[in-house]
């Protein structure tokens, strides 16, 4: 039965050779499909100075689970640098850390470009997978699964397959074709842009800051983060409103700004490198994309950023994208590769999670740049930690559900709302009880009962 | 000063010859601009069976105010059929009316196509306005205000102007160019589609139902509405989930469905006509579009559905669109036609209203198909009417603010939330007071005090 259906649908065209497209090729090959993967850019494995998407990657549970299937999880875990906690840098130079989860739980700082290279290598070694670089989608008929690509030399090629999988990122050309029909879609740019800087390794070739942390300089209106790299440097990303970026037009102004706002980072980055890096590129924009459905008929499906581009503040963009492939594979298994059933169910199951992920990511920006320094946040983290220790099967904090479990994102939102309600009510009751107790004590003390009880001792 | 600036920006290309494009041409001509208006379709004035957008139009205060400027308001008011109230048709055939506002306040049922024709005639008679039909936008460089159109014979023409005004509807080609940059955009299709039917005039050439009402058949999950036409017919629009439309595949099924759900309408439409009309076209979809900004630099602005397509349940789609032109004209006056200032301010002022209009329109669908038959709705309408009579300067109900004032849409939402809060609190206090009073009366009665007081009489 499974083979019969697989025979009906056996040739897939994947658009996009990023990590999601490459991983998808591996999964489909394992199911016996013939896969042609088309990527507009050159093969990044052959480029010396190839740059992937710039913000580097905090890999967690979902991404690792998806990589497990192709045997890359162990390699990534060996090469990644564990980040067990946030390291908060205050404006006065003070530091303190806030753990991400229980002991042993951590994020992995990894090189996004290296991961992409590894996935391409694994994909191209699979049977029935062909990868075509420098081949850009220019048009597609989504109902007929017919796609036209242009090659670097201007030549055009047209493919007809059983289905097209759009893994072509936030500005997906496949999705653009779907948008012409009845299709819900939103793109939202936040008011903040980002620039990438570097904290190089020290003269002794060591990390310039504690390595096993995600460093955060939260400054309410904006923030800076630093993730450790294998070469002992840190990739530093500054997120700020565009108006603020535009106000800094000279090297001296940038240095002054850093002296005032991120003083401890300045000697680590170095004035010279800061002046150089800051003006290398304009501030880049951050977009959040939601859409539905994730499929069209039995011929097209969207994965990763093409389905749900998110702002990078939960470190879940690629984790959620890789998980799409894993979730899809589960549905393929359930419906024995029957695309008539698989594609609609993929939309039904995954759309609400993609939308929840976009919402969670936007919310976490506020947490990262502001709440993380509030007393309430720190107090709640302590309460959460106590509850996780005392009631491990009943209580998992929101961050842990996202980063260290595979709880569907939309359930994370529901569950954490419930948690907040229960905890806030319990804290209120506790506070009222304490006030009541103090009042009783005070009254007893005033009318002499406390004194009396003392005399009884 | 004004002329100096007008000299700098004097040639505008309008894309779209619907009511909004034509009205805009009139306004700009009055300000001394040279206008070229391009419309993809044929000239509707020369077509015998031209069909405009199908749902016919309930014109109200905002639309009339915008038409006033070009002297069309009087003609429209003379030709339009006043609808002073909703006429609710219950499944058992019972009827009752719910007024739209105070005595004298009404909506005007008008022929959308005739309005468009009249506006084209007025526009083409203005100095410096040229209208080009059968000329479709295929590409534009929004920063250079350069646009390429294709004519019916395949010939291409390219225009360079000082600015392009996109009045080209919900699927605006001008907006599509803006979407390539940093641009917030959402399109959302509701689960309901619509089909258009007709209740013809009677054999005696009279209206088959009371003429001066907007007839509504609210059925919770779906609804039907009827608006009177000049030829004494009614245009009837049925809104239903697509799943329901798709389930009706044969004439007999449709007739059975109408017998069960809209029994009183069936003899008015006629079985034969119903069977014919129902399958003439597939059910059409309804989209809600929000975007921001409404401009790009000093070269492009969006108007009407191109900026804010809305579902038709508040009858405000075209009213709000025509008002865009009026609002824009006010900003032109304020900044003496200086596009560097006018275009950003147009976005600042109008974007939040376009978004509020989309929200109001979605909310009103629930009101029209469900709330309108609830006791609470009818009770609140009575309370609102009393408050409007007693405190006319302090209290204006939401529907009246939208239909009979020019209160900016975003303020309507804020104001009506405030109204609801105050009224609901007042009603609660009143209810508690009444319960308290009853309780006192009951207690007095029980302990004899009421009897005593009676004996005192």
DSSP assignment string, B224-253: EEEEE-TTS-EEEEEEEEHHHHHH--SHHH
Query: What whole-number distance in Å separates Cα of residue A106 and Cα of residue A227?
Result: 13
Q: Tell me how far apart the alpha carbons of residues A310 and A364 are, in angstroms, rounded to a whole number.
A: 11
pLDDT higher than 80, residue A51 = no
Residue B5 reports pLDDT greater than 70: no
Joined together, the tokens standing for residue A206 give 């060591």
pLDDT at B306: 98
Asked if the Cβ–Cβ distance from A183 to B184 is below 8 Å, we say no
Name which of A383-387, A449-453, B6-10, B43-47 the model is least confident about: A449-453
Mean pLDDT of A283-305: 96
Measure CA of the first residue to CA of the last residue in chain A; give whole Å: 84
pLDDT at B1 over 80: no
Label residue B337 left, alpha or beta by phi (over 0 means left) and psi (-120 to 50 means alpha). Answer: left
For tokens 């390794």, the residue is: A201
Q: What is the mean pLDDT of chain B?
A: 89
Is pLDDT above 50 for A324?
yes
Q: Compute the nearest-CA separation of B186 from chain A (Å).
A: 4
Contact between B185 and A184 using a beta-carbon 8 Å cutoff: no
* Averaged confidence pLDDT in chain A: 89
Structure token digits, residue A82: 């564990």
Q: What is the pLDDT of residue A5?
A: 42
pLDDT at B380 over 90: no
Distance CA A201, CA A197 (A): 13
User: Residues near B16 by Cβ (< 8 Å), separated by ≥ 6?
Assistant: B37, B38, B39, B166, B167, B168, B169, B172, B304, B306
Tell me the shortest Cα–Cα distance from A387 to chain B, in angstroms: 39
Angle at alpha carbon of residue A19, lines to A17 and A22, rounded to 5°: 55
Residue A127: pLDDT over 50: yes
Task: Please name the member of A184, A188, A189 whose beta carbon is closest to the beta carbon of B189.
Answer: A184
Which string of DSSP letters, residue by residue, matches B255-307? HHHHHHHSGGGHHHH-HHHHHHHHTTSPPEEEEEEEEE-SEETTTEEE-THHH
Q: In which residue are the tokens 């649908």 written?
A: A9
Q: How far is B185 from chain A (nearest CA, A)?
A: 5
| Model confidence at A456: pLDDT above 90 | no
Minimal-distance CA residue of chain A relative to B179: A187
Contacts of A176 in chain B (CB under 8 A): none
Residue B105 to residue A269: CA distance in whole angstroms: 69
Distance, in Å, from the CA atom of B262 to the CA atom of B95, rounded to the nearest integer, reads 12
Interface of B to A at Cβ within 8 Å reads 179, 182-189, 285
Chain B residues with beta carbon closer than 8 angstroms to that of A188:
184, 186
Model confidence at A430, in pLDDT bands (50, 70, 90)?
A: confident
CA distance B54 to B229: 13
One DSSP character per residue, A337-366 reads T-HHHHHHHHHHHHHHHHHHHHHHHHHHHH
Mean predicted confidence (pLDDT) in B127-137:
96
Confidence class for position B324, pLDDT limits 50, 70, 90: very high
Output the CA–CA distances (angstroms, integers) from residue A24 to A1, A153, A327, A337, B54, in the order listed: 23, 28, 11, 14, 45
> Strand, coil or helix: what is A304?
coil
Q: What is the C-alpha separation between A265 and A226, in angstroms, rounded?
A: 10
pLDDT per residue as tens digits for the range B290-323: 999 999 999 999 999 999 999 999 999 999 999 9
What H or E segment, with its residue span, contains residue A11? strand A11-15
Q: By C-alpha distance, which of B378, B292, B318 is closest to B80?
A: B318
Residue A321 φ/ψ, nearest 5 degrees: -70, -45
| Whether the predicted pLDDT of B379 surpasses 50 | yes
Continuous segment of H or E residues that includes residue B421: helix B409-446
pLDDT of residue B53: 42
CA B360 distance to own-chain centroid: 10
pLDDT value at B157 more than 80: yes
Residue A436's pLDDT band (cuts 50, 70, 90): confident
Distance of CA B126 to the CA centre of its chain: 27
The alpha-carbon radius of gyration of chain A (Å, integer) is 26
Q: What is the mean pLDDT of residues A323-341?
A: 97
Q: How far is CA A138 from the centre of its chain?
A: 29
CA distances from A386 to A102, A372, A396 (A): 10, 18, 11
Q: Cβ of A186 and B186 within 8 Å?
A: yes
Residues in chain A: 457
More confident residue, B268 or B428: B268
pLDDT class of B354 with cuts at 50, 70, 90: very high
Find all residues with CB under 8 Å of B295, minimum gap 6, and list them: B301, B302, B343, B344, B346, B347
Length of chain B: 457
Q: Do residue A185 and residue B189 have CB atoms under 8 angstroms apart? A: no
List of residues 6+ apart from B404 with CB closer than 8 A? B60, B61, B100, B101, B105
Q: Which of B182, B187, B285 sits opposite A185 (nearest CB)?
A: B187
Judge contact between B210 and B85, C-beta under 8 A: no
Q: How confident is the model at residue A4 (pLDDT cuts 50, 70, 90)?
A: very low
Q: Measure B189 CA to nearest chain A CA, in Å.
A: 6
If you average pLDDT over residues A257-262, what whole number do you get?
96
B87 contacts B44 by C-beta, under 8 angstroms? no
Q: Which residues contact B244 (CB under 8 A, 6 or more apart)?
A: B221, B222
Rounded-to-5 percentages of helix, strand, coil across chain A = 45, 25, 30
Residue A424: alpha-carbon gap to chain centroid: 28
Percentage of chain B beyond pLDDT 70 is 93
Q: How many alpha carbons lie under 13 Å from residue B103 in its C-beta half-sphere?
A: 2
Q: Which of B397, B375, B399, B372 is nearest to B225 (CA)?
A: B372
Mean pLDDT (whole number) for B419-445:
84
Q: How far is CA B132 from the centre of its chain?
A: 27
Q: In the CATH hierarchy, which top-level class contains the domain B2-79+110-186+287-367?
A: alpha beta
pLDDT at A154 exceeding the cut of 70: yes
What is the spatial distance between Cα A171 and Cα A148, in angstroms, rounded to a whole number?
17
CA-to-CA distance for A12 and A33, rounded, in angstroms? 7
Within 8 A of A183 by CB-CB distance, chain B residues are 187, 189
Residues of A in contact with B186 (CB under 8 A): 184-188
CATH number of A2-81+107-186+288-367: 3.50.50.60
Terminal CA-to-CA distance of chain B, rounded, Å? 84
- DSSP 3-state assignment of A54? coil
* A179/B189 CB distance under 8 A: no
Q: If we measure between CA atoms, which residue out of A345, A332, A338 comes closest to residue A294? A: A345
A263-272 exposure pattern, b = at least 16 Cβ within 10 A, e = fewer: ebbbebbeee
A206: helix, strand or coil: coil
Query: What span, in angstroms and rounded, lies between the C-alpha atoms of A355 and A337?
Result: 26
For every residue of A99-141, DSSP letters joined together read ESSSTT--EEEE-HHHHHHHHHHHHHTSTTEEEE-SEEEEEEE
How far does A194 lie from chain B, in Å, by closest CA? 14
The 10 Å Cβ neighbour count of residue A198 is 18
Is the CB of residue A40 less than 8 Å from the CB of residue A173? no
| pLDDT tens profile B204-251 | 999 999 999 999 999 988 899 999 998 999 999 999 999 999 999 999
* Stronger pLDDT, A77 or B249, i.e. the higher one: B249
Give residue B423's pLDDT band: very low, low, confident or very high (50, 70, 90).
confident
Query: Which of A105-119, A171-185, A416-430, B443-457 has the lowest average pLDDT?
Result: B443-457
What pLDDT sits at residue A457? 37
Closest CA to A382 of A13, A96, A66, A183: A96
Structure tokens at B180: 């390539």
In which band, very low, low, confident or very high, does the pLDDT at A58 lie, cut at 50, 70 and 90? very high
Which run of H or of E encompasses B25? helix B19-30
Average pLDDT over residues A352-372: 86
Task: Report residue A52's pLDDT band, with 50, 70 and 90 as the boundaries.
Answer: very low
Of B146, B152, B155, which Cα lies nearest the Cα of B174?
A: B146
| Residue B385 pLDDT grade (very low, low, confident, very high; cuts 50, 70, 90) | confident
Task: List the domain boundaries for chain A.
Answer: 2-81+107-186+288-367, 189-284, 375-445
CB–CB contact A179 B187 (8 Å): yes
Q: Which two tokens stand for residue B222?
A: 């779906």
From B79, B33, B18, select the one nearest B337 (Cα to Cα): B33
Yes or no: say if A12 and A161 are a contact pair by the CB < 8 Å rule.
Answer: yes
- Taking the C-alpha atoms of residue B25 and residue B444, their distance in angstroms, rounded to an integer, is 75
Nearest CA distance, A310 vs chain B (angstrom): 14
pLDDT-based confidence at residue B9 (cuts at 50, 70, 90): low
Determine contact, residues B301/B328, Cβ cutoff 8 Å: yes
* Closest CA relative to residue B200, chosen from B252, B274, B261: B274
Give, for B348, the enclosing helix (H) or strand (E). Answer: helix B339-369
d(CA B245, CA B239): 9
Task: Tell me the C-alpha distance between B394 and B76, whole Å.
Answer: 31
With a cut of 80, say whether residue A367 has pLDDT above it. Answer: no
The shortest CB-CB distance from B182 to any of A183, A186, A189 is to: A189
Contact A179 B185 (CB under 8 A): no
Q: What is the pLDDT of residues B75-130, one digit of tens each?
A: 888 889 999 999 999 999 899 898 888 888 999 999 888 899 999 999 999 989 99
Q: How far apart are CA A421 and CA A407, in angstroms?
A: 19
Q: Could you give the angle at which helices A339-369 and A317-334 cross, rounded to 10 degrees? A: 160
């Amino acid at each position: 039965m499974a083979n019969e259906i697989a025979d009906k649908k056996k040739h897939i065209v994947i658009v996009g050779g990023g990590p999601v497209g490459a991983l998808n090729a591996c999964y489909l090959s394992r199911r016996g499909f013939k896969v042609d993967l088309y990527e507009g850019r050159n093969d990044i494995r052959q480029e010396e100075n190839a740059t992937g998407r710039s913000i580097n990657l905090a890999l967690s549970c979902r991404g690792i689970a998806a990589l497990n299937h192709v045997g890359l999880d162990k390699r990534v875990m060996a090469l990644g640098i564990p980040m067990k906690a946030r390291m908060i840098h205050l404006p006065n130079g003070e530091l303190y850390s806030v753990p991400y989860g229980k002991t042993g739980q951590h994020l992995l700082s990894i090189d996004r470009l290296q991961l992409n290279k590894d996935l391409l290598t694994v994909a191209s070694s699979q049977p029935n997978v062909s990868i075509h670089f420098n081949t850009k989608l220019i048009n597609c008929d989504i109902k007929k699964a017919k796609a036209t690509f242009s090659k670097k030399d201007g030549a055009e090629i047209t493919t007809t397959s059983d289905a097209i999988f759009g893994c072509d990122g936030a500005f997906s050309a496949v999705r653009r074709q779907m948008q012409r029909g009845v299709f819900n879609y939103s793109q939202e740019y936040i008011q903040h842009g980002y620039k990438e800087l570097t904290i190089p390794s020290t003269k002794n070739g060591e990390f310039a800051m504690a390595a096993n942390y995600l460093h955060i300089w939260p400054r309410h209106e904006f923030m800076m983060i630093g993730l450790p790299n294998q070469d002992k440097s840190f990739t530093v990303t500054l997120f700020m409103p565009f108006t603020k970026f535009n106000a800094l037009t000279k090297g001296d102004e940038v240095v002054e700004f850093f002296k005032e706002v991120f003083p401890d980072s300045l000697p680590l980055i170095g004035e010279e490198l800061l002046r150089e890096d800051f003006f290398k590129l304009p501030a880049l924009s951050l977009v959040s994309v939601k859409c539905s459905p994730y499929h069209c008929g039995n011929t097209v499906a969207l994965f990763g950023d093409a389905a749900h581009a998110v702002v990078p503040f939960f470190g879940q963009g690629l984790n959620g994208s890789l998980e799409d492939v894993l979730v899809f594979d589960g549905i393929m298994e359930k419906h024995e590769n029957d695309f008539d059933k698989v594609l609609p169910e993929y939309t039904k199951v995954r759309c609400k999670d993609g939308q929840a992920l976009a919402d969670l990511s936007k919310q976490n920006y506020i947490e990262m740049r502001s709440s993380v320094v509030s007393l309430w946040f720190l107090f709640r983290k302590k309460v959460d930690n106590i509850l996780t220790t005392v009631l491990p099967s009943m209580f998992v904090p929101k961050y842990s559900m996202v980063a260290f479990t595979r709880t569907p994102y939309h359930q994370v939102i529901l569950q954490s709302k419930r948690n907040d309600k229960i905890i806030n009510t319990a804290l209120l009751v506790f506070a009222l009880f304490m006030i009541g107790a103090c009042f009783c004590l005070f009254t007893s003390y005033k009318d002499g009962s406390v004194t009396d009880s003392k005399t009884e001792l």
